Amino acid sequence: MSTLHVDIVSAEGEIYSGEAAMVFAPAQLGEIGIAPRHAPLLTGLNAGEVRVQTPEDGDRYFYITGGMIEVQPNMVTVLADTALRGDELDEAAAREAEEAARAALEGASKETDLKRAQQELAEASARHRAAQRMKGRS
Amino acid sequence: MASEKEIRTKIKSVKSTQKITRAMEMVAASKIRKAQAQMEASRPYAERIRRVIAHLSEANPEYRHPWLDEREVKRVGYIVVSSDRGLCGGLNVNLFKKLIAELTEWNEKGVEVDLALIGSKAVQYFGRLGGNVLATVTQIGDKPNMNDLLGLIKVMLDQYSEEKIDRLFLAHNEFASAISQKPHTDVLLPVSEIENNDELQTHWDYIYEPDAAELLDDVLTRFVESQIYRGVVENFACEMAAKMVAMKSATDNAGEIIDSLQLQYNKARQAAITQEISEIVGGAAAVSGG
């Protein structure tokens, strides 16, 4: 029986890599099953289960929160999301990050005080040099 | 000269400081390995996604995604990755130094800068100096999590999509080795480095569901996200490496101080004994002489 190579990866790491007789995935337009020599396909995935039928030890299940699947005749790559996604959720997360910025930088000026920054950096490196010299002497 | 007892107490306190710095050194050393493994783990995803993008842009010459095109720069965005905690030598300062130099350059060209900050140290720094900060994330922890970063990333990507910024940079430390970290800025958007592989020049195409343009959107977003995630993980590895080196030199310095204090202590003890003997001898001489 022919098999196809399956890689399930997420940004945070590799989840599964191995051979399979068949792969089932929750595609955006409905569940799909991929057998070896499937036509090249690229589609989004919904949250759900990816089922990998391995030739040796039966079915393996992976829960994913969404992502993409890339299919080539003898290879399947699942690019899994590591986080729950959705326009509303993303929007809420974005608002949160903005809120954090406002809270953390309350009262700070909108303009970066570049002159002061450069002066401070010059001072810091002068201090560093002086410290190095003293260390060399002692 | 300080008394014996004073010096003894001082030695004891330096020794306990040394114990702490040595422990911190060892903790950092073990965390480097974990962080490096995490960096390694994020690589396959980025490679795959890069390949998909290369293919997509190859297969769709008529559809140009706005993220792939250069445009005139009127305003730029920076995502700055710093550490949450200090005691890591000049790591953050070096990054800020490079950043300030670039900001000054933009300033001279009349280009304004929007910032998004990751890590408490960057927030503190720009809190003091000011800056147009749109989003912040702090307390990332030892194991950076994509979930924590998504909000901040979305803010900046939206800025780019709405053409409020014309270029997006990522500033972070690059992990060269355990003893060398380099501050580094990358261009995130527009996405430029998608080269076309020869193997992709063949005449086949994917079936797209739902459609290619929409998928390209999603894939590009994921691609940029994974690059930023990698930047954060890499910066964490740098933080730990810098911390290890800083704590090692602190431990060494404490050792030197203990040595010199020990010498002082011995001298003081010697002086006390000598004085005591001379007193006894003097006393005996006075008695026998009398």
Residue from A114, A116, A135 to probe the interface with B (highest B Cβ count within 10 Å): A114
Q: Are residues A115 and A67 in the same domain?
A: no
Per-residue pLDDT of B216-262, as tens digits, reads 888 888 888 888 998 999 999 999 999 999 999 999 999 999 999 99
Distance CA A84, CA B68 (A): 27
The B180-189 sheet, strands edge to edge: B132-137, B112-118, B75-81, B167-177, B180-189
Q: Are residues A99 and A125 in the same domain?
A: yes
Nearest-by-CA chain A residue for B156: A94
Query: Which parts of chain B are beta strand (E)?
Result: 75-81, 112-118, 132-137, 167-177, 180-189, 207-209
List the structure tokens of A42: 């690229």
Whether residues A68 and B219 touch (CB distance < 8 A) is answered with yes
pLDDT given for residue A94 in this prediction: 83
Whether the Cβ atoms of residue B224 and residue B157 lie closer than 8 Å to each other: yes
Q: Are residues A77 and A97 in the same domain?
A: no
Q: Are residues A55 and A76 in the same domain?
A: yes
Distance CA B114, CA B131 (A): 8
Whether residues A113 and B129 touch (CB distance < 8 A) is answered with yes
Q: Are residues A79 and A121 in the same domain?
A: no
Whether the Cβ atoms of residue B50 and residue B194 lie closer than 8 Å to each other: yes
Q: Which of A86, A103, A119 is the last residue of a domain?
A: A86
Q: Are residues A82 and A93 in the same domain?
A: no
SS3 content of chain A, % helix, strand, coil (to 5): 30, 40, 30
Q: Which residue has the tokens 């710095």?
A: B21
**Using 50, 70 and 90 to split pLDDT, how confident is the model at B11?**
very high
**Using 50, 70 and 90 to split pLDDT, how confident is the model at A112?**
confident
Residue among B131, B137, B204 whose CB faces A97 most closely: B137
Residues in chain A, total: 138
Number of domains within chain A = 2
pLDDT given for residue B290 in this prediction: 58
Nearest-by-CA chain A residue for B159: A94
Contact list, A30 vs chain B (CB under 8 Å):
none
A90 and chain B in contact, CB less than 8 A: yes
What value does the mean pLDDT of chain B take?
87
Q: Chain A: give the shortest CA distance to residue B73, in Å.
A: 19
Distance CA B157, CA B165 (A): 9
Q: Chain A: give the shortest CA distance to residue B132, in Å.
A: 5
- Tally of CB atoms within 10 A around B31: 18
B88 in active site: yes
Residue among B38, B151, B215 whose CB faces A44 most closely: B215
pLDDT given for residue B208 in this prediction: 78
Residue A80's DSSP bridge partners are A10, A67
List the structure tokens of B54: 């290369």
Q: What is the CATH number of the domain that holds A44?
A: 2.60.15.10
Distance CA A133, CA B30 (A): 32
Query: Taking 60 as the threshold, does the pLDDT of residue B287 lie above it?
Result: yes
pLDDT given for residue A56 in this prediction: 83
pLDDT given for residue B263 in this prediction: 94
Distance CA B196, CA A116 (A): 45
A117 and chain B in contact, CB less than 8 A: yes
Residue among A67, A90, A121 whose CB faces B150 most closely: A90
Distance CA A135, CA A124 (A): 16
Q: Are residues A26 and A76 in the same domain?
A: yes
Distance CA A8, CA A23 (A): 11
Between chain A and chain B, the number of residue pairs with CB atoms below 8 A apart is 176
Lowest average pLDDT, out of A37-41, B25-29, B187-191, B200-204, goes to: B200-204
The C-alpha angle B19, B21, B25, rounded to 5 degrees, equals: 115
Whether residues A121 and B154 touch (CB distance < 8 A) is answered with no
Per-residue pLDDT of B158-191, as tens digits, reads 999 898 999 999 999 999 888 889 999 988 888 8
Domain holding A61, by residue range, is: 4-86
Whether the Cβ atoms of residue A25 and residue A50 lie closer than 8 Å to each other: yes
Per-residue pLDDT of A13-49, as tens digits, reads 888 889 999 999 999 888 999 999 888 888 989 888 8
Q: Are residues A50 and A99 in the same domain?
A: no
- The continuous run of DSSP H or E covering B78 comes out as strand B75-81
Nearest-by-CA chain B residue for A71: B206
Whether the Cβ atoms of residue A40 and residue A33 lie closer than 8 Å to each other: no
Query: Taking 70 as the threshold, does the pLDDT of residue B46 lie above it?
Result: yes
Nearest-by-CA chain B residue for A111: B131
Per-residue pLDDT of A55-107, as tens digits, reads 888 888 988 888 889 888 888 989 988 766 667 778 888 888 888 888 887 77
Q: Are residues A96 and A37 in the same domain?
A: no
Query: Taking 70 as the threshold, does the pLDDT of residue B196 lie above it?
Result: no
B201 burial level (CB within 10 Å; 0-12, 13-18, 19+):
exposed
Q: Are residues A63 and A19 in the same domain?
A: yes
Whether the Cβ atoms of residue B48 and residue A70 lie closer than 8 Å to each other: yes
Query: Taking 70 as the threshold, does the pLDDT of residue B62 lie above it?
Result: no
User: Can you say whether residue A104 is alpha, beta or left, with left for phi > 0 and alpha for psi between -120 and 50 degrees?
Assistant: alpha
pLDDT given for residue B171 in this prediction: 94
Helix (H, G, I), strand (E, B) or coil at B131: coil
Per-residue pLDDT of B76-119, as tens digits, reads 999 999 999 888 888 999 999 999 999 999 999 999 999 999 99
pTM of the model: 0.84
Q: Are residues A14 and A56 in the same domain?
A: yes
Q: Are residues A63 and A100 in the same domain?
A: no
**Residue whose C-alpha is closest to residue A77's, from B58, B200, B233, B47:** B47
Average pLDDT of span B51-71: 74
- Tally of CB atoms within 10 A around B267: 12
List the structure tokens of B13: 């306190």
A96 and chain B in contact, CB less than 8 A: yes
